[in-house]
Chain A
């Protein structure tokens, strides 16, 4: 039998203890939450039956925890322990302290709820966690200002730094990611990407647009649009390089293919230069004037509009019939009748724009055509060259011939009246050779009458009165560039037959110019708009702004 004085301690609001005593007794005393327990600890953290107080065989009192129940004696977790005054037993939130036993009792126990459940005020549990976003205490604006500060640092301050010092600018340009990279609106065009990391190469002054001087710093050889300096300065006073050359457009070209800038002046060209001979133009497809053909008139280079038929006469000095050479049945040659095509004579040059200059040897004497034969008194072939060269060649030929068999050949000299006379025989032989050369040249090469053969077949020739070189061949001026102010690529047009544009099939004389007219071009090319099956063509499809108009139209 255990008799126990139970002192239940509670606290008033000031924290002072209030004790309530009661006496319990039994063979053993159960401690737990259950109603059957003599020490009734009403808390969820206490088991229904938590521990039992018992008397051991030697008479001492001890407490034994139930299975799965934890008791804590003087700070140590144990399963059972003897109870002596001062022992502190913690069961759940309760502290049981063994007090000195008063008379008549085996033991005195004070119980106190030391750790009341924090959730005694349940509403507080739920208020412990924030129940609104506002309660989280996060400031939207502070978050925003933090972001803004980061953005200002990376995207404003860092890119501005290189502008402060050129040495720093140079250094930062070597970094894998440059500080100004975030300001770059787009990749630079090919050539400019070399200095892409150094913005100040072009953007030389802050808050000022790129100046023409910045461009001219590198591009020193750019041709002016107008030959007259004062006119150029006046007309292009307010025009900047960057009006037409826009960078940071990546693979797109640096040059704007935009006709509107050209039309600004050329739409009313007289307003810019009252004395100009140019006509107004707004669009290739609508009001582009007829093409001008640049050609020689005597020694002068002239420009004639294609509708001025009377002026469009080529005076090249060459006698030539395209009709004969392009005869579909063929033209007679040492190999028999041969059908010729344009490119047999007109070879396109490497640039694909013009044709290689034609020569007698390469062009006319191919396949042994147009060999310069002479026949009297022996056969030979004369070279194609200057008159003096031809005559010297002939003299040399006859001198050698006379020296080869003097006795027989001198008979020929008698026929020309040079077998006898003053001087020794050598002098007479030379005189004979000269005379033979002169006579035979007159009879065959420089023959002016009868059949148009040899020189006169192609050239205009006339007498000089000079004994050594009695004939003069009129020089040739074959036009190589009819439109030197325009850009035209023959190689890009090779899908079209030559005669599709150049009407030469029936051309009998070389005075006829067969340059295509603007109407011909407009069959495929239209102006500055798109249309199905047509090619959009703007000013710089044919013209170059920076091209100096050359009058060099004859191949040198």
Chain B
């Protein structure tokens, strides 16, 4: 609820694109209900079907054009550029220059200023969302709710998948930035990684003088604790049997065992170090997960959009080839 009270792109200019899309849908639904062509309801082969099909196709092209032109927006990360620079700096050093330059660029074109054709990036995105959602209805009416195992329905299904992934992306854009801010509390992921590395060093140093069992746990926690990982590990944001969590748990148990030893203070210190590390690891994982989820849907949205475009072309050629 809190989310809905603040301005966001769904509410852009007092729901301008929501209203526009609703009007478009109202006209389309009314036309479908009122115009009864020969042979029952409208479908792709009737004149209303053609009109709905043309409108839907134009919307698809417009939405895809948004995706293409967004790549060239100053201030919006261009991943290829990032990768190229990253590859040159394999050791991860000296990217600060790149980031500083990007930050400067971002300042030159904030989202609320004019972007393309007099619109702002936020406005275009708002339109993208509402027009995309309206395609569900438009394409269904265009098809006359007739589906089968063919290229025509393939286009429809791909379109639904693209829209569904877009809805998820919308959800992440509305919710995750706030969660990221809360989670990071002013830190960056690099800060966290450095802190975790420091704590690892500290834990290892502290464990050196402690029994082998403790030492092995700490070593494992240092070496096998994983942040990030492959696509699904990043989206999942957790590690099964995380060695750090395991170390925290077991060091606590072992400290009971060694309570009468002469190193209770060392154990206590190690325990608190590991606990601190675990907290930071969870935060780092959370950060990676939220960021991955904010980006991950695009790995469906973009390839499926391109596949949809191909299927749409095949659909149109098929229709007119065998008219």
Chain A residues within CB distance 8 Å of chain B: 33-35, 42, 44-45, 47-48, 117, 119, 121-123, 125-127, 129-138, 140-141, 143-149, 151-152, 155-156, 159-160, 163, 181-186, 199, 203, 206-210, 243-244, 246, 249, 252, 256-258, 260-261
Minimum-distance CB pairs A-B, first 10 = A144-B306, A122-B197, A148-B310, A131-B228, A144-B303, A147-B307, A258-B38, A140-B302, A143-B303, A123-B197
Q: Is the CB of B212 within 8 A of A48?
A: yes
Q: Is the CB of A130 within 8 A of B150?
A: no
Q: Is the CB of B322 within 8 A of A183?
A: yes
Using Cβ atoms and an 8 Å threshold, which residues of chain A touch B196? Answer: 122-123, 126
Q: What is the interface size of chain B, counting residues whose CB is below 8 A from a CB of the partner? A: 73
Given A48-B212, A122-B222: A130 and B228 interface contact (C-beta under 8 Å) = yes
Q: Is the CB of B295 within 8 A of A183?
A: no
Secondary structure at the B interface, as helix, strand, loop or mixed, is: helix
- Does B200 touch A at the CB level, under 8 Å? yes
Q: Is the CB of B215 within 8 A of A136?
A: no
| Extra A-B contacts (8), CB below 8 Å, given A133-B292, A183-B318 | A123-B197, A129-B233, A133-B299, A138-B299, A148-B307, A155-B314, A184-B148, A252-B40
Taking the nearest CB of chain B, how far is it from the CB of A140, in angstroms? 4
- Nearest-CB residue, chain B, relative to A43: B208
Using Cβ atoms and an 8 Å threshold, which residues of chain A touch B305? Answer: 144
Q: Is the CB of B229 within 8 A of A140?
A: no
Given A123-B194, A156-B317: A131 and B302 interface contact (C-beta under 8 Å) = no
Using Cβ atoms and an 8 Å threshold, which residues of chain B touch A141? Answer: 302-303, 306
- Nearest-CB residue, chain A, relative to B87: A137
Given A119-B222, A203-B323, A208-B323: A137 and B306 interface contact (C-beta under 8 Å) = no
- Nearest-CB residue, chain A, relative to B226: A129
Kindly state the separation between the CA atoms of A368 and B39 in the bound complex, as whole angstroms. Answer: 56
Q: Is the CB of A132 within 8 A of B311?
A: no
Best-surrounded residue of A127, A144, A252, A258 (most CB of chain B within 10 A): A144
Using Cβ atoms and an 8 Å threshold, which residues of chain B touch A159? Answer: 151, 318
Taking the nearest CB of chain B, how far is it from the CB of A101, in angstroms? 31
Q: Is the CB of B299 within 8 A of A156?
A: no
- Does B44 touch A at the CB level, under 8 Å? yes
- Does B231 touch A at the CB level, under 8 Å? yes
Given A35-B209, A181-B150, A185-B150: A151 and B222 interface contact (C-beta under 8 Å) = no
Q: Is the CB of B309 within 8 A of A132?
A: no
Taking the nearest CB of chain A, how far is it from the CB of B108, in angstroms? 23
Kindly state the separation between the CA atoms of A247 and B298 in the bound complex, as whole angstroms. Answer: 40
Q: Is the CB of B150 within 8 A of A143?
A: no
Q: Is the CB of B234 within 8 A of A123?
A: no
> Can you list 24 residue pairs at the A/B interface with Cβ under 8 Å?
A45-B219, A48-B211, A122-B198, A122-B200, A123-B194, A125-B200, A126-B193, A126-B197, A126-B227, A131-B228, A133-B231, A134-B82, A134-B83, A143-B299, A143-B303, A144-B305, A151-B154, A151-B311, A156-B310, A156-B314, A183-B321, A206-B322, A207-B323, A246-B45
- Does B313 touch A at the CB level, under 8 Å? yes
Taking the nearest CB of chain A, how far is it from the CB of B286, in angstroms? 12
Using Cβ atoms and an 8 Å threshold, which residues of chain A touch B215? Answer: 33, 44, 48
Q: Is the CB of A182 within 8 A of B151?
A: yes
